[in-house]
Amino acid sequence: MNLEEIVRATYEEVKNTDDKGRLASYIPELVNVDSESFGVFISTIDHTNFGIGNFNEKFSIQSIAKVLSLSLAYSILGEKIWTRLGVEPSGTAFNSLVQLEADKGIPRNPFINAGAIVISDILLSKLKNPKEEFLSFIRSISNNSELNYSSKIAASEKSVGFRNVALCNFIKSFGNIENEPSDVLDFYFDLCSLEMNCKELSELFLFLANNGCNIFANNSILTKSQCKRINALMQTCGFYDESGEFAFKVGLPGKSGVGGGIVAIHPNHYAIAVWSPKLNEKGNSYKGMKFLEEFTTKSQLSIF
């Protein structure tokens, strides 16, 4: 079977499995989706592209944006960035506060909320117009001027974002936030509100499958070493306290979001995006995880 046939067969199989997940409801606006949506898109380095199901519908990428904000901050700051946060899996939920006190305000990694809030603070300090410049950055990576934030989703999250407010203030009390917490959080909520479809998401992440090089414009976004490290972080921390399970079952670096999206990378080969909004108890797409597990099993295309 070729790649397209494997994606199609896996999709048909997983589509009919009983979805035990539930919609994320802690952000009110996220409930306004068709919970049965299910889409997949794969983009390869050698320009094979294929989508199935609701791959053309935009959804909220939420925490998947943390990989993109890290990429921009890392490209600006280089290795100095690791004085502000760590590179170890936390083994805790994405929004957990528990380790921060013992760790003196240094988040374990950039993909838990605490770490992504520190990355937002870094971008706020380094960029003149962070919101616009970040958008230009992701638009240029995928040569797609359609990408945008959703002010509705950002406002919805802000109205209930008490835990993130707590995280940001707590980190600031240790001196690891330079800017006003409300500014940092507004930017963080904007990042999480980015909307795109599976096709756009897989194209956007293709640079991480291509050694940090933009496949559309052939320019370098990250060095090879930085790209390797971001993929390593996705592998070890991309699914919070389910990262081990994702490595075990799927075997690819990847990142999930509470909007039900998952993107995964096979270095030097492909990026694949899956969207199905109902989440398992760890906050990762139930069917998305199932699809990728079946896909790498059938295709034997995992990194292990």
Ligand X SMILES: NC(=O)CC[C@H](N)C(=O)O
Judged by CB, which is closer to ligand X: 68, or 192? Answer: 192
The distance of closest approach from Cβ of residue 244 to ligand X in the complex, given in angstroms and rounded to an integer, is 17
Which residues, 190 to 219, sit near ligand X by CB under 6 A?
Answer: 192
| Two structure tokens written together for 247 | 């490595």
Least distance (Å) between residue 120 CB and ligand X: 11
Local structure of 254: helix, strand or coil: strand
Please identify, using beta-carbon distances, which residue of 74 and 94 lies nearer to ligand X. Answer: 94
Q: Choose which of 142, 150, 164, 197 interacts with ligand X (CB under 6 A).
A: 164
Alpha helices in the chain (DSSP H): 3-15, 65-77, 98-102, 113-126, 130-142, 151-160, 162-173, 181-192, 198-204, 206-209, 224-237, 243-249, 286-299
Residue from the set 59, 94, 207, 270 that interacts with ligand X by CB under 6 A: 94
Instruction: Please state the closest distance from residue 164 (CB atom) to ligand X, in A.
Output: 5
What span, in angstroms and rounded, lies between the C-alpha atoms of 8 and 10?
Answer: 6
Residues comprising the chain, all counted: 304
Question: Which residue in 292, 258, 275, 270 sits closest to 54, CA to CA?
Answer: 275
Residue of 105, 110, 212, 257 interacting with ligand X (CB under 6 A):
257
What burial letters (b/e) apply to 237-263, b meaning 16+ CB within 10 Å? Answer: bbbbbbbeebbebbbbbbbbbbbbbbb
Binding residues for substrate: 63, 113, 157, 164, 188, 240, 258
Rounded least distance, CB 97 to ligand X, Å: 12
Q: Does residue 258 belong to the site contacting ligand X (CB under 6 A)?
A: yes
Among 130, 181, 283, 288, binds ligand X (CB under 6 A): 283
- Of positions 10, 43, 95, 276, contacts ligand X by CB under 6 A: 95
- List 261's β-bridge partners, or say none: 275
Residue 261: closest CA among 211, 218, 201: 201
Minimum distance, C-beta of residue 39 to ligand X, in the bound complex (Å)? 18
Residues 61-80, interacting with ligand X (CB under 6 A):
62-63
Mark 107-126 with x for binding to ligand X (rule: CB under 6 A) and - for no binding: ------x-------------
Tokens of 52: 């199935």
The Cα–Cα gap between 22 and 279 comes to 5
Q: To the nearest whole angstrom, how small is the minimum distance from the Cβ of residue 93 to ligand X?
A: 9
Residues in contact with ligand X by the rule CB under 6 A: 62-63, 94-95, 113, 157, 164, 192, 257-258, 283
